[in-house]
Every structure is written in C-alpha cells, then in structure tokens.
Structure 1
C-alpha cells in the first residue's frame, strides 16, 4: 500500500460528481435549496396541527448524495483538519448523534459548494468573513 501522502484523495472525485450532478448552478435561485433537491432534507408528515419530521427524503441523484455523505464522514473524522464546518458538525453530533450530524454536514456542504461555485471563491478553513 502506498504511503498516505501518495494515496489518491476523495476531494477531486466528490467535486467532479457534484459539478456533474448540478450541471448549471444558475438553476438554483438559493444555495440553500441544493441539499433538498438531492434528498438531504427531512421528510415532513403534516396532519392538521401536527407536523412531524422524519428521515431524509432520498430524492434526487443517489451518487451525489452518497459522495456528499462520504465527504461529511471524512470531514468529521478525528484526523481531519480543523474547520468551522467540522466544529459545527461535532456540536450537532453531541446534541443529535453522529448519524444525523453526518447528514447535516453533507447538506451544509452542498450549500457551501454551490455558493463557492457561484461566487468563484475557494473554501475558507477558518470562520472569518470573506474580504470584499
């Protein structure tokens, strides 16, 4: 097995999968709706005054959803580089459990990737605001 520095990374494959699935970023008016389009939104059950949220809908491209889930899994590992997204995901995991945190991070990652694509900016590992 090659050393860790020579192994292929998942990032380029996930980015390519994302770009192929979205195809045209302008078809989404809000970056926030991308995750729901690919089935990373909770299913809602409504009846009268009762509204319950269930598991994710799993609509849309399964390949992209699993790629985003894998990216979230890698991001939340202890060996991963610290970032604001990782810290947020670990706070969610503490409250709701790791499975739900991975879904939440995958959805937030889809929003971040869309925004990066539209604005043409690189990922910021820190939580500092972007320079205008």
Structure 2
C-alpha cells in the first residue's frame, strides 16, 4: 500500500485500478459492442508485479480469498489483484 500513498486522491476504485495498470483495454467502434482485451500495463509496473505475486501466494492459502480465486481461476489472473485494490480503496475511504 506504500505505492498508493494517500488513497483519498483516487475518487473511485476504478481510478486506483487504472493507476496500477490492471484495467482491461477496451476497443469499441461505433455501435458495435465493446471488446475487453488484456490489461493495459500502464502505471506502476513494480507495484503491479508485486500484487500479482501476492495473488499467487494467496491462491494457495485456505480462506475466503482462495475460494474467490478458485471461482475465477479460468479467467485472467489480473482479476484478483484488481478486486483486492477495489476492496482496499473501499476500506481506506470508509465506503464499505
């Protein structure tokens, strides 16, 4: 959380996720549906890699985060760090 600094400077959890570059790329043209691709990887690369490594560690420890990981394991691995950042923002900003 040291990489974030003051969490109050982010107005929403999506802004925090974007700061780390864990948000998916979105491609859309005209009225066609949006295509969500891989993560953008814009932002703090070292902090992003630390979050992903922490996700791998959490995935092996029994508990609620492992249960969440098991539910989403077929999706991309960036989903869990993204959800952890959103939860951190909510708990730090007082909007649980």
Bin of the TM-score, shorter chain as denominator length: 0.7 to 0.9
Offset of 1:88 from its aligned partner? 1.8
Rg larger in structure: 1
**1:92: which partner in 2?**
72
Query: How far did 1:61 drift?
Result: 0.4
Partner of 2:5: 23
Q: TM-score with structure 1 length normalisation?
A: 0.63
Asked whether 1:113 is paired with 2:65, we answer: no
Note the C-alpha offset of 1:115. Answer: 2.7
Deviation at 1:112, TM superposition (A): 1.9
5+ long unaligned stretches in structure 1:
1-17, 120-129
Counterpart Cα distance in 2 of 1:59 and 1:46: 19
Q: Which runs of 5+ in 2 are unaligned?
A: none
Q: In the alignment, what sits opposite 1:57?
A: 40
Q: CA deviation at 1:105?
A: 0.5
Q: 1: distance between equivalents of 2:30 and 2:14?
A: 27
Q: Structure 2: how far apart are the matches of 1:33 and 1:81?
A: 30
Determine the C-alpha separation between the residues in 2 that align with 1:86 and 1:34. Answer: 23
Instruction: Show the 5 A alignment for 1:3-82.
Output: 18-19=1-2, 21-50=3-32, 51-77=34-60, 80-82=61-63
Q: Deviations over 1:98-124 (max 9, x none)?
A: xx1x210011111222333334xxxxx
For the aligned residue pairs, the C-alpha RMSD in angstroms reads: 1.8
Q: How many pairs were matched up?
A: 94
Which structure has more relative contact order (CA 8 Å, sep 6+)? It is: 2
Residue 71 of structure 1 aligns to a residue in which SS?
helix
